[in-house]
Amino acid sequence: MHSSTSNFERVIPALPWRGITVAVCVFALIAVAAWEIHCRAVGYEPTLNDTEDLWAEARRRVEPESIVIIGDSRAWFDSDLDELERGLGQRPVQLALPGSCAYPVLADLADDPHFHGTIICSVVPRIFFAPGGPPVEHSEKAVRRYHGQTWAQRASHYLSVPLEQSFAFLKQDDLALEELLKDLPIPDRPYAQVPPRAPPYFCSIDRERRARMVEQCARPGPLQEKVKSRWTRLFTPPRPPKFVPKEIFEAKIAEAIEARYRNTKIAVDKLRARGGKIVFVRFPLSGDLKVYEDRATPRAKTWDPLLRQTGAPGVYFEDYPELSGFNCPEWSHLSAGDSVEFSKRLVPHLRAALQL
């Protein structure tokens, strides 16, 4: 028995397909050009996306005796690689990640038997001691990508770099449809809390993962105010779940913080056992964010115990007049120009702490 479709023949309509193809291509080009013009008009410029693949590429540059910068976005913005290379005699590898906890990267380097270099570790207490959530997950994902990156992912990254360096609209953290939809004014509901939004695009990123604040954010204006408005909610810890008693929740948080101290000491000891070095750095912050951090995560309960328990040296910007006079335009990071001067002034303190 023959199938009812055995003699089916699809008829292609006689249309001017060549002309249609040309028209579609022209329309697509016009649409892309219009979107690119719009993105540039509102302040976007071509720059690399700080993807897990870009981080993995930087991680592969780490050699046994490298100087490595790890931590959060303050180390990412405020560390000028040229000045650090000039002062320390070696060009650092930038592995700091915005909005992330340094511990997973520290543990990965400590567990690397080939690494016995120097680590410059930024400490923002609210992020460094985060027991879990996005700060920890962000770092863990980057480490996993480095260890498990496929050839297809690596090839895709290399192909994307020249495109990202040419087109402003390829800014995945701001201009992807998913991110644009997050800007819709949706209020919190009883069983659905809207998470805090990350700051908008306000830096450029190069192939070495150096982040530099864009001029629009460094000077007073709408972008600077928009970035400032995001910090308070981002740095405010989530409310404890109603089904967990407050005292139990607080005890669990305290237990997780103590575990972070212990695990950090273990990682530091592993590094030192191979001849490696580490220095913790508290980078500048300003304005309302500084007031909030000083109150919520006081130095005596975060920074001092970290140095005491690990036995590692530290450089706290407020301890030195030449480091404490910088103003962060949007409260949390230095401008491109100030990052160069700050790094130059930081070098002598790093050399003293590391006994170089």
pLDDT in tens, the chain (356 residues): 454 555 667 888 888 888 899 999 999 999 989 988 888 887 778 889 899 999 999 999 999 999 999 999 999 999 999 999 999 999 999 999 998 999 999 999 999 999 999 999 999 999 999 888 888 999 999 999 999 999 999 999 999 999 988 888 888 776 676 666 666 666 666 656 655 666 677 888 999 999 999 888 888 888 888 888 777 777 766 666 666 677 777 778 788 889 999 999 999 999 999 999 999 999 999 999 999 999 989 999 999 999 999 999 999 999 999 999 999 999 999 999 999 999 999 999 999 999 88
Q: Is residue 160 part of a domain?
A: no
pLDDT of residue 6: 56
Q: Is residue 186 part of a domain?
A: no
**Which amino acid makes up residue 139?**
S
| 3-state SS assignment for residue 111 | coil
Q: Is residue 251 part of a domain?
A: yes
pTM, two decimals, is 0.86
**Do residue 313 and residue 228 come from a single domain?**
yes
**Do residue 25 and residue 88 come from a single domain?**
no
For residue 297, the enclosing domain spans 63-135+208-354
Q: How many CB atoms lie within 10 A of CB 299?
A: 15
Rounded distance between C-alpha atoms, residue 293 and residue 285, angstroms = 9
pLDDT of residue 196: 60
**Do residue 220 and residue 288 come from a single domain?**
yes
Q: Is residue 55 part of a domain?
A: no
**Do residue 253 and residue 321 come from a single domain?**
yes
DSSP state of 318: G
**Do residue 30 and residue 76 come from a single domain?**
no
Q: Is residue 341 part of a domain?
A: yes
pLDDT of residue 1: 47
**Do residue 264 and residue 305 come from a single domain?**
yes
**Do residue 118 and residue 27 come from a single domain?**
no
Rounded distance between C-alpha atoms, residue 291 and residue 71, angstroms = 21
pLDDT of residue 244: 67
Q: Is residue 327 part of a domain?
A: yes
Rounded distance between C-alpha atoms, residue 15 and residue 64, angstroms = 64
Domain of 270, CATH number, reads 3.40.50
Q: Is residue 109 part of a domain?
A: yes
Helices (H) and strands (E) in the chain, counts: 17, 7
Closest by CA to 330, choosing from 45, 43, 73, 134, is 73
pLDDT of residue 356: 84
**Do residue 93 and residue 123 come from a single domain?**
yes
CB of 130 within 8 A of CB of 101? yes
pLDDT of residue 146: 96
Helix axes 52-59, 151-164, angle to 10 degrees: 110
Distances (CA, A) of 93 to 179, 225, 226, 313: 30, 31, 31, 20
Rounded distance between C-alpha atoms, residue 199 and residue 228, angstroms = 8
**Do residue 21 and residue 131 come from a single domain?**
no
The phi-psi region of residue 287 (left if phi > 0; otherwise alpha if psi is between -120 and 50; otherwise beta) is: left
CB of 32 within 8 A of CB of 39? no
**Do residue 38 and residue 77 come from a single domain?**
no
HSE at residue 164, side-chain half, CA atoms within 13 A, is 20
Distances (CA, A) of 146 to 51, 55, 70, 133, 149: 11, 8, 15, 20, 6
Rounded distance between C-alpha atoms, residue 194 and residue 187, angstroms = 7
**Do residue 227 and residue 337 come from a single domain?**
yes
Distances (CA, A) of 295 to 98, 103, 292, 298, 340: 22, 23, 5, 6, 29
CB of 155 within 8 A of CB of 62? no
| Number of domains the chain contains | 2
**Do residue 19 and residue 96 come from a single domain?**
no
Q: Is residue 335 part of a domain?
A: yes
Task: Give the largest Cα separation in the chain, rounded.
Answer: 93
